[in-house]
């Protein structure tokens, strides 16, 4: 059983040297435990936050602890009634080949995914999984978009952003995505049906944003923070809404950013941070809706899959370099 254990808190980009790769025998389940073989590991921007000791929504990963990470796997041995051998499960399996469910310190028990769904596992982890649920609840419950309104989403070709834009289209909105580079901009407009794309790597991106939002912005689904967020806020309308989902542009920084809140006052913008876990009692409802849209062809799922556990630390940097389109996964 190979495990990545956090060796030190990374400064800036994550490196292989921030982890120890430790090998041990495949674990045996004790009474009340089950052993799960990981099939896919989810790489998420929040993994980088968990490596820090800044105040956050879960305890930071301790030095020496197996790196926390979401995943999907199959139960290979079980001595607990809720999981049986062969079950497909999702949970915080960690950066390792085998996870023990019911081990001390477990934050959440893994949950069984119905087997044999006509949806491939990678899409169950992305558009119909945690990032899809983040998009769904953040947009519909906090963004509360109405038909005809303008919705802007940043990191628009990524796992969360690509689903946000597609749901906003289903809700009858004008949708503008902000993404890095021509290929991602073409992906969101041509393949996903966004009304416009803004390439923030182009010198004239602020003019592009202005041209794409002639009636201002009613909902800003914020994934990035920094200058992109401040520029978007500058175009938001009176009584507009801003679900604050993430601030990926700042996660590698040691210094926390400072922002001017005056526009929120002057334009009475409703800003609300949220974590998908806030909606955990409604995951079933959200996943069913996302799966129905996917099967009806109204929602497109896209994933970038990297092979091999050993590449996980370097692969995480793809999220910060924009190397992924859609959900980033590691296949074990």
Residues that bind ligand NDP (CB under 6 A): 44-46, 131, 134, 155, 157-161, 179-180, 184, 223-224, 228, 245-249, 274-276, 319-320, 322, 324, 328
Q: Whose Cβ is closer to ligand NDP: residue 8's or residue 56's?
A: 56
What Rg, from alpha-carbon coordinates, does the chain have?
A: 20
Contact 300, 166 (CB under 8 A): yes
- With vertex at residue 323, the alpha carbon angle to CA 321 and CA 325, rounded to the nearest 5 degrees, is 130
Q: Whose Cβ is closer to ligand NDP: residue 110's or residue 132's?
A: 132
CA 314 to chain centre: 18
Q: Whose Cβ is closer to ligand NDP: residue 159's or residue 173's?
A: 159
Q: Whose Cβ is closer to ligand NDP: residue 66's or residue 157's?
A: 157
Q: Whose Cβ is closer to ligand NDP: residue 34's or residue 153's?
A: 153
At closest approach, how far in Å is the CB of 215 from ligand NDP? 24
In the numeric block, the tokens 């859609």 are attached to 326
At closest approach, how far in Å is the CB of 191 from ligand NDP? 15
At closest approach, how far in Å is the CB of 112 from ligand NDP? 22
Q: Whose Cβ is closer to ligand NDP: residue 46's or residue 189's?
A: 46
Q: Whose Cβ is closer to ligand NDP: residue 171's or residue 184's?
A: 184
Phi, psi of 162 (to 5 degrees): -65, -30
CA 215 to chain centre: 29
At closest approach, how far in Å is the CB of 160 from ligand NDP? 3
- What are the C-alpha distances in Å from 315 to residues 90, 160, 164, 303, 318? 21, 18, 24, 14, 5
Q: Whose Cβ is closer to ligand NDP: residue 29's or residue 143's?
A: 143
Q: Whose Cβ is closer to ligand NDP: residue 69's or residue 180's?
A: 180
* Beta-sheet pairing, 150-154 with 111-112: unpaired
At closest approach, how far in Å is the CB of 104 from ligand NDP? 26
Contact 19, 4 (CB under 8 A): yes
Phi, psi of 41 (to 5 degrees): -110, 140
């Amino acid at each position: 059983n190979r495990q990545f254990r956090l060796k030190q808190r990374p400064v800036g980009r994550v490196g292989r040297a921030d982890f120890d790769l430790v090998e041990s025998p495949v674990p045996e389940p004790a009474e009340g435990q089950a052993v799960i073989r990981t099939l896919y590991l989810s790489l998420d921007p929040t993994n980088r936050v968990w490596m820090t000791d800044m105040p956050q929504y879960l305890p930071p990963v301790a030095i020496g602890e197996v790196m926390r990470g979401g995943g999907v796997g199959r139960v290979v041995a079980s001595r607990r009634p809720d999981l049986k051998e062969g079950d497909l499960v999702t949970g915080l399996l960690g950066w390792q080949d085998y996870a023990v469910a019911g081990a001390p310190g477990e934050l959440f028990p893994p949950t069984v995914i119905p087997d044999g769904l006509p949806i491939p596992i990678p899409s169950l982890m992305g558009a119909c999984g945690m990032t899809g649920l983040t998009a769904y609840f953040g947009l519909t419950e906090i963004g509360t978009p109405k038909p005809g309104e303008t919705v802007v989403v940043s990191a628009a070709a990524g796992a969360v952003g690509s689903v946000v834009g597609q749901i906003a289209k289903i809700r009858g909105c004008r949708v503008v995505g902000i993404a890095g580079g021509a290929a991602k901009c073409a992906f969101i407009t041509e393949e996903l049906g966004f009304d416009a794309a803004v390439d923030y790597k182009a010198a004239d991106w602020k003019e592009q944003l202005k041209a794409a939002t002639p009636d201002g912005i009613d909902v800003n689904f914020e994934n990035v923070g920094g200058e992109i967020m401040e520029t978007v806020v500058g175009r938001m309308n009176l009584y507009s809404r801003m679900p604050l989902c993430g601030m990926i542009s700042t996660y590698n920084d040691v210094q926390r950013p400072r922002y001017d809140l005056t526009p929120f006052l002057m334009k009475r913008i409703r800003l609300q941070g949220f974590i998908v876990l806030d909606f955990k009692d409604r995951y079933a409802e959200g996943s069913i809706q996302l799966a129905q849209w996917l099967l009806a062809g109204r929602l497109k799922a896209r994933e970038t899959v990297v092979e091999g556990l050993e590449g996980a630390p370097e692969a995480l940097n793809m999220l910060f370099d924009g190397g992924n389109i859609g959900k980033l996964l590691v296949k074990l």
